[in-house]
Chain A
């Protein structure tokens, strides 16, 4: 009789007892600080901070470029770089008078040269999609990014780096104090996380960010909204920070439990009749433990200041219900009625096996949120919390919401938001190792638009990623310094790469 997988599973049961006990006692070695929550909190700052680098890839749709009629600059750029520009707001909704270094969003290259002169370095124009070109001029103290969607070049983003002496129309520059910034922009939204303080000024069609970054220095970033998310007429920065839809992680409750509760608060709600797993040290400063109640599993985490409820899992026998009354006896129709925005996702939870594709309904983010796992019409599992741990730190240079992918044949596709997020999630790998220069042709090139390219090698379900900077901006030449990591090119990503527009739709 042929050996089967069941025989193998049984045989594994006869492993040396020392191996079994080793696995039980093993504690993962401390690693860099973990940051599911911290990363989320810092997301806005990180994304905005690298926005300058990643924005080249941001658009896939054509939209008539904003036409701004600019009159002669009011100030002599040779004397100072803070002059304001009179803007005809008949066709624009940019803030009248706001400038950075005298330059305003929507200006033409000629207008910029008229203000700042012609002493700048320039990147070669890059075609990021069939009808979208990107170009950047690097002045000393001001980076100007232009876009051309068929009707000529115009400024779509400005950035003043840490050594810049350029100022905004209010006189605020990268060296201004927080008090000065808030005095000049009293309505600014202020946030602070992970050593990054930021003030965001939202204009109707653009967002201005002033950063005080303890680690990387101060900088100012001003971006037109329309280049962030054409389809929803909102920005991905703004979406991240202010217009987030109802977040089930913070607003949903299950059986009186909400994420973030302390141990005592959990016990006050469900009592103390539970089995507790051993404590796992996931990272140097995060520990996790699972409390198993009847039909309910709670994962608690401790990031250094006490245990808090991090994830709630309801199994079939759980008596608990959501704040909407949805319990484990709910039908799909009832779930959809209670949560009209749920998204159905089919995920091959085990790409190596067969027939284990899992369908679930997600409310909130696909990765983190409220998830209903269905078996036909039967709800058999409900989860509130992050689906999986996200390693930290993010590869900041790879943070992007839209990524261009080049097939092996050189064909170009622009991944839509969700696909790109999936890619960036997949690429947030930990412990990268130097790898040998790969000798085969990559399956895909992922272009993060910030001179970071990733070559994805692999077949079927497993891939190796090599990252590097372009030497001469051709697909064929990359630096010798490869960073190779294995990653799981799961069916979701594979599908996204192959069907970027059909499978994935923004929003």
Chain B
């Protein structure tokens, strides 16, 4: 079913909207969640929560990119759940590795910094990514947005795991320089 039709169902408050959303984007959302959490059961709960949030947000929102809109919700919910689990036991999935990688992008301890809102940071990141070659862009988003493994990221962009690892390493360094240039840590 076309996204516009599904959105019309939301606006009509027709619960078929959720069934159609699950039918079309259930696999996509489960995949994102499962990679972050490493647990199918937890992922399933996050996906169900995603449908609920989508139901509550639409209307009034009418997302232009419905798939990414859902992906963003399930990603945030999954990260929330991952953090909750961290307090209880060791978490699964890719998240711990992703966090360790992203340390590369953080400033030196002696630099003053300011804390950004997620959306503001997202805008800065988007502008930086837009300047990157498409292949690099895709690699970064696959790895840090979709939480793909290195092997999956490499497969997605058509290179070896080692090459993908090296590419991402260079991108993290570039991002760190960009964040400093943008004054994020000045």
Contacts and interface: CB of A to CB of B under 8 A. Distances in A.
Given A9-B102, A12-B145, A17 B160 contact: no
Given A10-B79, A20-B68, A353-B100, A15 B129 contact: yes
B67 interface: yes
Contacts of B157: 26, 28
Interface in A249-275: 275
B116 A11 contact: yes
Given A20-B72, A352-B172, A1 B155 contact: no
Interface string A466-487: 0000000000000000000011
Interface string B100-127: 1111111100000101101101110110
Given A3-B116, A352-B101, A352-B104, A13 B169 contact: no
A429 interface: yes
Interface size class of chain B, counting residues whose CB lies under 8 Å from the partner chain = 35 or more
B19 interface: no
Contacts of A487: 162-163, 166
A280 B160 contact: no
B67 A24 contact: yes
B169 A488 contact: yes
A354 B100 CA distance: 6
A5 B67 CA distance: 26
Contacts of A333: none
B27 A350 contact: no
Contact of B69 (A1, A17, A292): A17
Contacts of A21: 65, 67-68
A10 B118 contact: yes
B101 A11 contact: no
Interface residues of A, number: 62
Contact of B119 (A14, A292, A431): A14
B172 to A, nearest CB: 7
Contact of B65 (A18, A283, A429): A18
Given A431-B159, A462-B170, 12 more contacts: A5-B103, A11-B122, A14-B121, A16-B130, A17-B63, A17-B69, A20-B68, A24-B68, A349-B150, A354-B100, A430-B163, A490-B162
Interface of B: 27-28, 30-31, 34, 40, 63-65, 67-69, 71-72, 75-76, 79, 83, 95-107, 113, 115-116, 118-119, 121-123, 125-126, 129-130, 134-135, 137-138, 141-142, 144-146, 150-151, 154-163, 165-167, 169-170, 172, 184-185
21 contacts: A3-B185, A5-B105, A6-B83, A7-B116, A8-B106, A9-B79, A10-B121, A13-B118, A17-B64, A17-B72, A23-B141, A28-B135, A292-B34, A349-B97, A353-B100, A353-B103, A356-B96, A426-B162, A428-B160, A430-B159, A488-B166
